[in-house]
Structure 1
């Protein structure tokens, strides 16, 4: 492919529009050449910073000779079909999480990529690019805290914006932790239990207990109506010490008799650096004909764990996660 990478963006909501801005201002290896969204006005507004073309359909964008690679930021239920279309066209694709709304559909994407014989797809688990998470993982893998025993994760939003029900809280929000915990522990999830102190209506918050193949255990709290802001925390506990994410706010203040740090209001601002690094790495890899980020298999594993978590929340039991054998492509 010629430099820079020509990117088509499907979906012009908050996430898609932010990706267009980030690529245009901060990713010299790529430029956005086309945008599609069913809402033409929204697509036009999102395309403006890049002076990109607004196309009339997703399949038109995928087939365009002005698009080298595709970024999927459309609603979750469209991800699997769009990813399959990109694989069929032989174009690199960055698909926002989740890869699919069911494990079966995610596995279909994996199988299509495997049958094609080469990796083209990356899943948008941007926490793997966040400087804090990267440093935390490096500290664990270098053995500085001894043998890893426990991981504690917290994921809170000020108010629910994307989760319509109990299932969505796991498959759309907790799915981030279901990817990052195995990445930190270098081991797959084998079982999960999900509970909530709320017994009627929307069960929020939820608390998961997770078991991994190497013996590490993890706890995950997801609370999407926490009220005060967007807050992500993670601590790894080892036999020689612990390591945890530092506060994300760059400054502290003393105003009106109160000392404190600002808590950001949304995930886009909180993970701005992660998105920038993720998009830059993806573009460079696509230009080189490779994929270096979270794979379709990683997306399938997270979705398989999420489905087990939904089953556990319903049954009150520990549910085994059994995704099957990893294909050699991954």
Structure 2
């Protein structure tokens, strides 16, 4: 798909309003990408309003979108009568207030992860949306776990669900970044990187995570001071399956994400390099290999496009078609256990409430 192609809307969206007017809150790296996506590659929606703490950046983004206005206050943007739905790409500490404002107004919202900064406030959003659903029959909140929309992950989920591998027993995950910005901490590796594998495990296996163990092997010399990198995280599911996650954010090489499911009757792996095998001469001699994506946008660009198109289609139907508030809460509960396991060096059970409000 080229940058100018528009994804087709789903047939079910045919009877929906002609156009969804979207406010994008936060137009940094992710928000600006979403503005471009909604403007150039997604059908059935347009960006009506943008907001950002950096006013000059918001002005620059709005100037490139016909009919787009800057509303400096994100809560005012949510309340704007010309806004039908909201994409939240602001820093995580603002998400709780902004998502709750969307629920109060009764408009769909796609919130980039994390849903909120902790499990307790994420659960508050679950309860607020549950109350809205009880009154209206509609759900409003989708969380931006885009890997669910990646064709490889979707195919792997279908293979597991169909029984094509027999009962799944183990999942092996590798999540590697070439580098991370200054200020990243070991705890934020759990909250910002491992969180994707947490959602992947729940998505592929269809069950919750019951306990977390975090191991800290010898750190790479490329890691910032006081950063423990890589991490090895072991997730235990409620069904007795094990998921191991190697998270290595300072490889200095490229962006690599791989997942393998091992079942009773076979195994399947995704995320292997594609393209031709290349041989070339390097400083240390001949090199043979394939190209590896340099960053997450190259690896998951199509997943983001599909995610936002399906969100638009569902929002126009009055529906949610993706990971919801409960998935955001579950991920935060698991990451909280992961941070505790990191601090204590011990296996830590995940503390979650059930959908009905009792501990599980």
Q: Distance in 1 between matches of 2:185 and 2:108?
A: 32
Q: Is the counterpart of residue 31 in structure 1 residue 46 in structure 2? A: yes
Moved more, 8-17 or 20-29: 20-29
Which of 192, 195, 211 is 1:175 aligned to?
Answer: 195
Deviation at 1:23, TM superposition (A): 1.2
Q: Distance in 2 between matches of 1:285 and 1:250?
A: 34
**Contact 1:163–1:172 (CA under 8 A) maintained in structure 2:** no
Which of 85, 91, 95 is 1:69 aligned to?
Answer: 85
Q: Which residue of 2 aligns with 1:277?
A: 306
Deviation at 1:285, TM superposition (A): 0.3
Which of 17, 28, 47 is 1:2 aligned to?
Answer: 17
Q: Distance in 2 between matches of 1:248 and 1:19?
A: 26
Moved more, 253-262 or 10-19: 253-262
Unaligned runs of 5+ in 1: none
Secondary structure at the aligned position of 2:181 is classed as: coil
Secondary structure at the aligned position of 1:273 is classed as: helix
**Contact 1:9–1:73 (CA under 8 A) maintained in structure 2:** yes
Q: Distance in 2 between matches of 1:230 and 1:160?
A: 11
Q: Distance in 1 between matches of 2:317 and 2:276?
A: 39
Unaligned runs of 5+ in 2: 1-15, 220-224
Runs of 4+ in 1 over 6 A off after TM superposition: none
Secondary structure at the aligned position of 1:293 is classed as: coil
Which of 257, 268, 274 is 1:232 aligned to?
Answer: 257
Label 1:261 to 1:317 Cα distance change in 2 as closer, same or farther (>3 A). Answer: same
Label 1:252 to 1:86 Cα distance change in 2 as closer, same or farther (>3 A). Answer: farther
Say what the alpha-carbon RMSD is for the aligned residues. Answer: 1.7
Which of 224, 229, 234 is 1:209 aligned to?
Answer: 234
TM-score (norm 2): 0.87
Aligned residues, how many? 328
Which of 123, 127, 131 is 2:151 aligned to?
Answer: 131
Secondary structure at the aligned position of 1:271 is classed as: helix
Q: Distance in 2 between matches of 1:108 and 1:15?
A: 25
**Contact 1:21–1:49 (CA under 8 A) maintained in structure 2:** no
Q: Distance in 2 between matches of 1:47 and 1:220?
A: 40
Q: Which residue of 2 aligns with 1:318?
A: 347
TM-score (norm 1): 0.95
